Amino acid sequence: MAIVKMQKLSLCAARSHRKQILETLQGLGVMDIDNTSIQDGELEQMDTRVAMSAFEKNAGTLDEVLKLLKTYANVSSGGGLFSEPEQISRERFDGIIKNQNRIMRHAGRILDAEKEISECKGIIKKDENQIIALQPWVSLDIPMGLRGTRLVRTLVGQMPGTMTADQIYAIAIQGLAPAEEDAEKPDEFPVEVRIISAENGVTNVVVMCLRRDRDQVRANLRAAGFAPPPGDEKGLPSERIEYYEKDITAQEDKVAALEEKISSYAKEADDFRIAADYYRTRAEKYRLLATVPQSENMFFLEGWVPADKAEPLKKLLEDRFEAVVEFEELREDEMEPTLLHNNRFSESAEGVLEAYGLPTHGRIDPTTVMSFFYVFFFGMMLSDAGYGLVMTIACAVLLLKKPRMGEGMKKMLKLFFWCGLSTTFWGFMYGGFFGDAIDVVAKTFFGFQGDTLLKPIWFAPLGNPMRLLVWCMLFGLIHLFAGLAVKGAEYIQQKDYVGFFSDVIAWYFMLTGLVLMLLPSDIFASISGQNFVFPAWLSTLAKVLAIVGAGVILLMSGRANKNWGVRVALGAYDLYGITSWLSDILSYSRLLALGLATGVIANVINMMASYGGGGVVGAIIFVVVFIFGHLLNLGINALGAYVHTNRLQYVEFFSKFYDAGGKKFNPFKTVTKYVQVKEEK
């Protein structure tokens, strides 16, 4: 429950040592470098955009190559959700860097092969489309592009709809004169129509006519919707189909060879990972280098270091690089970066706080207080011992098997590990183990007819929801009172004892008095089903506490204003804030709602699973429905518990005392995705 104290550090060193110093700082990862306050017109900064872009491009290229190796050679691309960097020796890392040109050449060959594969697949797709287009014409025994002979012209094309040869013939001969040799037969014309196929609302047809009639016949057909076939095929359809099929086979063989070529680089996957992280680290270094002020012979750095590491770092830089290192005081317009330090339990919830906003220096870090309530409330919402054990075991296995995974993911898994334990606790308190699975199994498969086997240690919420609602309100009040206590601790830390009494103690008085006045009332008895009878002195004390607290708030909340009229008005406005306390306490009813939802859905799943009866088939059905149903219920309600537990912290708890605004401590460090260099001791 602390914010790490920071020390401002400035450095001046010879430009010849710049590379070694930056690499040392990057390897240590303890200094948040910020050079914005170094302003001098005589100092220059390097333009590193070209180099940085080149390093980022190389890292991106190698990332893409690893994805291709995963696709074609089933090689892990790394960098997954639960992945951890592979530990390698400094010697191996340096050896890979010496061969970086060879590695990039191989990466280029893989990308070229992938490009060729894409082109081949494009050709295959085009060939397949051509075959599909030619299939209706496969019975055509003349080239599709044939124009005819010296006397006869051929028209190959499509007519809309399904038509007969006679219908097309009638359209084609409109306005034609019979041939001279057929002049005695005015109903016959030198036009021949041949239907090739008719499908999908299109009639594929060949029309032959005399050369002298071509223009008229074409015009007649076009007026009826005649159009040339798609594409520009010229030969026999059957021959063209055979050509495309051979081309597809050739392209597929080429794709197989290219895939084999890519797969042959699988043995170099580790080299690609190391090189990718090298370029990523170099890019980060050059990004910083662009902000470093320097003269012809010197360069300068400023930044923040945790106070306990400042002196050792100063000594290291001075002894090894003959740098001039000084400790600086915090300037008026500066903000120290925030680095949290908590115990092993509470540090798991730091990500929850960071998502809302970090505290500034001089304020109290609420992570420890929040973490206990967070785990407590999450367990109440999920509230099933079976689900809790699944969460706990799954998180524990991942943490043990992946000890070097990313820090953020590790903290989240630790948080859900503790939440799983809390869920298990509340599950046994409520008597829920995968809902009522124990009773259903006993009755369905073993003929058990007795009472509930797994009895709740406390009570079953499904049988007495109003009792749980009262407890939820009580837990909510304790949570809000804890937030008020943190606010009081900050007042004492700042030695503002008037504020502590006026803004904290007065609210404790008033709220405690109001609660004590509510408990023996008929309204509370009707809701909770419980009657409280207080002695007269306690009832009187409750009224006194409420009146004294309200009076102090009325007179002292606006104490910064010297005008008593305005002061009282501000105090009255603060008193109106009691309504927000009421709504905040009511928000804790979600502890009841989500807990009931988990239990009810789990029971329904068990009931559905038992419909198959107690035989072998019934057992198989039970197992399938049980596993699928409870996994779905666990996923949905765990997500709901996570969201609503966050809401209770962000909206109800933090609103009582917490103002975020801190800047995260972001040290200059080695940025890796796949590997971690293990330095020799």
Domains of the chain, CATH where assigned:
2-98+265-338 (no CATH), 145-228 (3.30.70.2750), 346-656 (no CATH)
Residue 234 pLDDT level (bands cut at 50, 70, 90): confident
CA pseudo-torsion sign 259, 262, 265, 271: negative
Three-class DSSP category at 568: helix
Task: Give the pTM.
Answer: 0.83
Residue 243 neighbours by CB under 8 Å, 6+ apart: none
| Distances from the Cα of 363 to the Cα of 332, 340, 545, 557, angstroms | 17, 12, 29, 21
Report the residue count for the chain.
681
pLDDT at 175: 85
CA dist 106 and 69 (Å) reads 12
Residue in the structure block whose two tokens are 């996923």 = 635
Whether 424 has a pLDDT exceeding 60, the answer reads: yes
Q: Where are the alpha helices (DSSP H) in 173-234?
A: 214-223
H-helix or E-strand containing 32?
A: strand 32-33
Are the C-beta atoms of 354 and 365 separated by less than 8 Å?
Answer: no
Q: In this structure, what are the phi and psi dihedrals at residue 379, rounded to the nearest 5 degrees?
A: -65, -40
Query: What six digits make up the tokens of 500?
Result: 């502590």
Are the C-beta atoms of 479 and 648 separated by less than 8 Å?
Answer: yes
The residues with which 197 forms a beta bridge, in sequence order, are 204
Question: What percent of the chain clears pLDDT 70, i.e. is strictly above it?
Answer: 97
- Concatenated DSSP letters of 396-446: HHHHHH-TTS-HHHHHHHHHHHHHHHHHHHHHHHHT-BTTBHHHHHHHHHH
Q: What is the mean pLDDT of residues 125-134?
A: 92
Whether 306 has a pLDDT exceeding 90, the answer reads: yes
pLDDT at 144: 85
CA dist 445 and 614 (Å) reads 5
Are the C-beta atoms of 368 and 375 separated by less than 8 Å?
Answer: no
Whether 365 has a pLDDT exceeding 50, the answer reads: yes
pLDDT at 452: 83
The residues with which 306 forms a beta bridge, in sequence order, are 6
pLDDT at 673: 86
Q: What is the mean pLDDT of residues 494-511?
A: 93
Residue 162 neighbours by CB under 8 Å, 6+ apart: 198, 201, 203
CA dist 356 and 597 (Å) reads 27
Quick: pLDDT tens for 382-411: 999 999 999 999 999 999 998 888 888 999
Whether 185 has a pLDDT exceeding 60, the answer reads: no
Average pLDDT of the chain to the nearest whole number: 90
Residue 681 pLDDT level (bands cut at 50, 70, 90): very low
Determine how many CB atoms are found less than 10 A away from the CB of residue 427: 28
CA dist 13 and 288 (Å) reads 16
Quick: pLDDT tens for 280-300: 999 999 999 888 999 889 999
Query: What six digits make up the tokens of 212?
Result: 């002298």
**Stretch among 211-215, 317-321, 562-566, 629-633 having the lowest mean pLDDT:** 562-566
Name the pairing type of β-strands 32-33 and 298-306: antiparallel
- Report the interhelical angle of 269-289 vs 18-28 (nearest 10°): 110
H-helix or E-strand containing 305?
A: strand 298-306
**Stretch among 169-178, 296-305, 501-510 having the lowest mean pLDDT:** 169-178
CA dist 598 and 600 (Å) reads 6
Residue 680 pLDDT level (bands cut at 50, 70, 90): low
pLDDT at 677: 82
